[in-house]
Amino acid sequence: MLAAPSPSAARTPSGRLLARVLGAGPTGALAALALVEAGWAVELCDPLSAEALSQRRRAYAFNQSSRELLQRLDLWSAIEPSLIPFNELQLWDLGAEQAVVFGLDDLAPAQGRCGVSAIGWIGRHDQLMALLLERLGQQQAVSLQLGRTPMPAPLLNADGLPRFDLVIAADGPESATRRNLGIGCWRRPYGQSCLTAEVELRGAADDQAWELLRPEGPFAVLPLGERRFQLVWSASESRCRQLESLSASAFLDCLAGVLPDRFQPDVLLDQPRAYPVQLLLAQRLHRGSTLLVGESAHRCHPVGGQGLNLCWRDVAVLHQLARRAAQGKLQPRRLGAAYGRRRWPDLLLTLLATDLLVRIFSNRSPWLLPLRGLALTLLARFRRLRRLTLAVMSTGVGAIQHAPPD
């Protein structure tokens, strides 16, 4: 079993606390930058090279909590030009044949006062990783170890002092670090896969995003600009495997059959790829001075675009606590416990909400149709309810900035 780092603080020659981050995907890379901004030195490890880390072809939906974190880390102005904003989110229940439209007027007043001009933003993985890796390469306090499998680091240095004050496990849902620490997890498979594809669509506006709630599973249509859209198509595993194997013309024919009539797919721009989806939650978020961050700790259904934003809210809390530790206001050995207390409410309620959405709307039960219709009718009628719903979707449960100090 991998031992947790020693709880004693050990500073680098420059006086910085030292952390090791395992996993350099979007969450691990951002966690490393957050630690550096908080005053730490970081060793960032990943078995993939920088080129391989950037090659994944997919898009992410960024909400207000992610924007706020990127602004605090001085990254927002660099990445915003590559993002596609949307100022309208349409939620359609195709089973109940009802819809709700969230617009800029449904943003919380505090967000409006900050001059926010979009409900959310869509960005490409390759552009995001290029920016994060470029910023990491500019940081003298970061040691990049990419393209080779990280070896178990000695807990003590040559002077007999602890080598790392903190280890961040951001190595994904099958985290070897979590397993080696003996931390179990709860899993609930959905019996679904999510298929992603990029297409050109007619009848769709570049400043609108759609979440289509279908009996087969949720279906997101995310704008990428210039009539290009990222599709996130949830369906049974067998259905997704069949869709992956189709020719481009056959895939477009199937797509036209499931989208509302207003959407007319013209061109398939990449090879559709499917991946299984499940609910996953680690039974604890830290052991000693090792913290589980991002998908090493949790995974939810992609409905509502919560996945990456939930991971980055982990990073936001880590950033706050790491800064306090660097300032001497929090002992590094207490950081793990403080992190767990801050994150559990948001994780539990977000995973519960996404799970209920999938289970209530991804079925053909006639008994649930009146309930679904009532929920959407209330959302459509009452702005205050829309604002509350959008605030929870955008910033999480118990906004980070209102979290009580430890």
User: Per-residue pLDDT tens for 256-269?
Assistant: 999 988 899 999 99
Residues 6+ apart with CB under 8 A from 54: 125, 126, 129, 130, 133
Residue ranges of domains in the chain: 18-186+278-401
Q: What is the pLDDT of residues 334-390, one digit of tens each?
A: 999 999 999 999 999 999 999 988 888 887 788 888 888 898 999 999 999 999 988
Q: What is the mean pLDDT of residues 22-28?
A: 97
Q: What angle do CA 44, 47, 53 make, to 5 degrees?
A: 80
Tell me if residue 372 falls in helix, strand or coil: helix
Task: Inform me whether the pLDDT recorded for 404 exceeds 80.
Answer: no
Q: What is the pLDDT of residues 354-370, one digit of tens each?
A: 998 888 888 778 888 88
pLDDT value of residue 115: 61
Q: What is the pLDDT of residues 282-337, one digit of tens each?
A: 999 999 999 999 999 999 998 888 999 999 999 999 999 999 999 999 999 999 99
Distance CA 322, CA 30 (A): 14
pLDDT value of residue 119: 93
pLDDT value of residue 162: 53
Query: In whole angstroms, how far apart are CA 340 and each of 67, 95, 203?
Result: 23, 39, 45
Strands 286-287 and 217-225: unpaired
pLDDT value of residue 110: 57
Task: Inform me whether the pLDDT recorded for 165 exceeds 90.
Answer: yes
Weakest-pLDDT range from 21-35, 99-113, 131-145, 236-250 = 99-113
For the entire predicted model, the pTM comes to 0.90
The CATH fold assigned to 18-186+278-401 is: FAD/NAD(P)-binding domain (3.50.50)
Could you write out the three-class secondary structure of 33-85?
A: HHHHHCCCEEEEEECCCHHHHHCCCCEEEECHHHHHHHHHCCCHHHHHHHCEE
Distance CA 95, CA 249 (A): 27
Could you write out the three-class secondary structure of 182-235?
A: CCCEEEEEEEEEEEEEEEEEECCCCCEEEEEEECCEEEEEEEEECCEEEEEEEE
